[in-house]
């Protein structure tokens, strides 16, 4: 299982981060937050995670549900190769 996801300490409806959901066991989700992360996947309560089929959907959700977030901030903090395949102009 590998899906894109947004997650947050506040609520899944106010996302702060984008990552890849690598595994889900019950209500626990294991999230990869960086392409080359050196640490184990972060374990999150799935009540704070929203799942998507692709990165575009995760970006759209984040921009829609977090008024503090900007396209530039997402580009700067999203550390995955797939950012090169996104048409960032459509979000501005």
Q: How far apart are CA 35 and CA 41, in angstroms?
A: 11
The token pair at 1 is 């299982």
Please give the model's pTM, rounded to 2 decimal places.
Answer: 0.93
Q: How far apart are CA 26 and CA 48, in angstroms?
A: 14
Q: How far apart are CA 40 and CA 33, in angstroms?
A: 10
Domains of the chain: which residue ranges? Answer: 3-84
Q: How far apart are CA 6 and CA 10, in angstroms?
A: 12
Segment 61-74, tens digit of pLDDT: 999 999 888 999 99
Segment 14-72, tens digit of pLDDT: 999 999 999 999 999 999 999 999 999 999 999 999 999 999 999 999 999 998 889 99
């Amino acid at each position: 299982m590998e899906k894109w996801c947004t997650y947050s300490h506040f609520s899944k409806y106010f996302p702060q981060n984008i990552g890849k959901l690598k595994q889900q066991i019950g209500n626990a989700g294991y999230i990869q937050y960086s392409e080359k992360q050196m640490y184990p996947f972060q374990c999150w309560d799935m009540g704070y995670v929203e799942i998507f089929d692709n990165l575009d959907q995760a970006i759209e959700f984040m921009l829609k549900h977090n008024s503090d977030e900007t396209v530039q901030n997402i580009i700067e903090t999203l550390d995955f190769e797939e950012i090169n395949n996104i048409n960032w102009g459509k979000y501005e």
